Chain A
Amino acid sequence: MNTQEADARIVFDDVSKFYGEVLGVNRVNLSIPAGITSLVGPNGSGKTTLMNLMTGLIRPTRGRMSVLGISPDEPERLFHKVGYCTQFDSFPRGLTGYQFIYSYLRLSGRAHGVADRLACEAIERVNLGEAAHRRIAGYSKGMRQRIKLAQALSHQPSVLVLDEPLNGLDPLIRAETIALFRRLAEEGLNVIISSHVLHEVDAISDQVVLLSNGYVVAEGQIHGVREEIHEQPLQILIRCNKPGDLASQVFHQDCVVEAKIHPDGHSILLKTRDAERFYLLLNRLAQNGINIESVAPADDDVLSVYEYLIGTEEPSK
């Protein structure tokens, strides 16, 4: 990778982190481009360790990282470009939501007027305007989560690192927050999210990094990751007018492993080890009087990939 590419990415180069004798992450090689990237894995898989490493809160035992070409050892440069919403549910004592954000903007050297404007904008972005001048100690869990998010994005960073940012949010705020992440990614931000709520990860991620026991199990766009899992046949859901006929015609084909009528009665769910051959077969069948309404992969989502690769250590669905 050339320097220009590295300057636009988050790069882990053979990074390992041990806490004494306990493994945090081992031999991680990643190059994360702009967009929304989700770190997915069960508790203790190394998600927070990776985030803490890229923000310099902890140091690697081995290897090197850079965020947009900047080493985490240079906080004075790094945090002009990076905002990190950690999982720690703690705050400096005695501050209101506004004071919390304003104070840390002043800490970065911004003048009063600029800090005031940026603090107000960030608070509005997370819909906490009415509570801004109340003490954080009196906030609900969801409000504390949002004020942390506001603080992380208040200085308009290029990289936003969010450790379980949806924890404690009610469904409405959750949806608003996900929409905010999408907007930020569309604005060109590099958003790194850790989550164990897989359907949300699936809905918002451009790419995923799957972690298990400190190792990166898979990375990339979820469809690409699914295609690499050869040992699990691909599941395809086909909606058509004659699901019974279709099932009987494909059942004896050697590229089809399994075919069954879906409980809705209008579709069949089949498994194939050779998707390309199957799609050619399907074209032929469609010309023989079966009206196919839709064909969609049924297991190239994060949940399925997670189950295939990580198995029983299952986070929330």
Chain B
Amino acid sequence: MSRSRLPWALWRAQILAILRLEMKKTFINRRGLWIYFLAFAPVLLYAFHSFVQSKHGRRADLGEDTHIFAAVFQFFFLRLAIFFGCVGIFMNLFRGEVVDKSLHYYFLAPLRREVLVVGKFLSGLLAALVIFGASTVLQFATLYWYFSWNSVQEYLFHAHGVEHLAAYLGVTLLACVGYGSVFLAGGVMFRNPLVPTVVVLLWEAVNGFLPGVLQKISVIFYLKSLCPVGIPEAIALDRGSPLALIAVNPAPASPATAILGLLVLSVVVIALSSVQVRRMQIDYAAD
């Protein structure tokens, strides 16, 4: 079938139908409340920080807070909140349906399973983006809330503040794409979600200690390369120290390479998931 003859309009309509079906499940789900808590914990932290700072009338230090944001973003938000949030959202896209014994309804529709995988991935991505994107913006707002409007304007428009925010949003998007694809595959290939979660967590954690080639087969390598602000404490350390290896890429990828690398990695993982779903059988008793 030539590319122009592929039924794109049908696939688009089917993906939209999947999104409509999945939205309720991904957003309004008691089992997923912990994801909201994880995502918005830094917002609460910054709100508390701003409240204490303004109450005690301490001198605001934009540079210091920008570094605090960079450290919390890299160490907590990327490596824990988005990581485990994506475990909760994407791992359940197929696994949750197997547990609920409702996956067969998708398999009994006149729908290519590859389209189902893409539709489910996009629905998870939409949910993750809304949750973690909103959190990123709110973190930014609450951290700088106690500064004077003039200082904030100065930072936003004359000290790359807007660019930083855009970069953090971009990194959030790419983190959701990267971890989302990995955990979608994990949910398709493993019965026990703990196994892929622990394996990926360890792989990402030791990424800085691995040889350069292996570092590139990870999500965090590309995300670190794209973070707009470095962590001064880590940069100041000796290159061989554990903190520096975790937080700093000795040979960071260029933004274009990082974005492309992450997207290629995700497309490959989604393609492998599609092959697996194409072969998948419904045997709820065994699951």
Q: Are B283 and A75 neighbours in the complex by a CB distance under 8 Å?
A: no
Interface assignment of A90: CB less than 8 Å from any CB of chain B: yes
Interface assignment of B100: CB less than 8 Å from any CB of chain A: yes
Complex: A22 Cα to B104 Cα, angstroms: 22
Complex: A56 Cα to B28 Cα, angstroms: 31
Q: What is the total of A-B residue contacts with beta carbons within 8 Å?
A: 82
Q: Which residues of B contact A90 (CB under 8 A)?
A: 100-102
Complex: A86 Cα to B113 Cα, angstroms: 19
Q: Are A92 and B21 neighbours in the complex by a CB distance under 8 Å?
A: yes
Q: Which of B25, B109, B286 has the most CB of A within 10 A?
A: B109
A86's closest neighbor in chain B, by CB?
B104
Q: Which residues of B (98-155) have their CB < 8 Å from a CB of A?
A: 100-102, 104-113
Q: How many residues of B contact A (CB 8 A)?
A: 30
Q: Are A94 and B24 neighbours in the complex by a CB distance under 8 Å?
A: yes
Q: What's the least CB distance linking B103 to chain A, in Å?
A: 10
Q: Which residues of B contact A76 (CB under 8 A)?
A: 110-112
A73's closest neighbor in chain B, by CB?
B278
Q: Which residues of B contact A75 (CB under 8 A)?
A: 107-113
Interface assignment of A308: CB less than 8 Å from any CB of chain B: no
Complex partner residue of B109 from A59, A79, A86, A88, CB under 8 angstroms: A79
Q: Are B13 and A106 neighbours in the complex by a CB distance under 8 Å?
A: yes
Q: What's the least CB distance linking A104 to chain B, in Å?
A: 6
Q: Are B21 and A93 neighbours in the complex by a CB distance under 8 Å?
A: no
Interface assignment of B72: CB less than 8 Å from any CB of chain A: no
Q: Which residues of A contact B24 (CB under 8 A)?
A: 93-94
Q: Which residues of B contact A52 (CB under 8 A)?
A: 282
Q: Which residues of A contact B20 (CB under 8 A)?
A: 103, 106
Q: What's the least CB distance linking B176 to chain A, in Å?
A: 23
Interface assignment of B34: CB less than 8 Å from any CB of chain A: no
Q: Are A79 and B108 neighbours in the complex by a CB distance under 8 Å?
A: yes
Interface assignment of B237: CB less than 8 Å from any CB of chain A: no
Interface assignment of B260: CB less than 8 Å from any CB of chain A: no
Complex: A170 Cα to B104 Cα, angstroms: 26
Q: Are B21 and A55 neighbours in the complex by a CB distance under 8 Å?
A: no
User: Beyond A109-B13, A109-B14, is A92–B25 a contact (Cβ under 8 Å)?
Assistant: yes
Q: Are A103 and B17 neighbours in the complex by a CB distance under 8 Å?
A: yes
Q: Which residues of B contact A108 (CB under 8 A)?
A: 14, 109-111
Q: A56-B107, A107-B17 provided; 5 other pairs, C-beta below 8 A?
A: A52-B282, A75-B113, A94-B25, A107-B18, A108-B111
Residue contacts A-B, CB under 8 angstroms, 8 given: A57-B107, A75-B107, A79-B109, A86-B108, A92-B105, A106-B20, A107-B18, A107-B21
Which 5 pairs from chain A and chain B are nearest by CB?
Answer: A90-B101, A79-B110, A106-B17, A57-B282, A107-B17
Residues of B bordering A, CB below 8 Å: 10, 13-14, 16-18, 20-21, 24-25, 28, 100-102, 104-113, 279, 281-284, 286
Residues of A bordering B, CB below 8 Å: 19, 52, 55-59, 75-80, 83-84, 86, 88, 90-94, 103-104, 106-109, 151
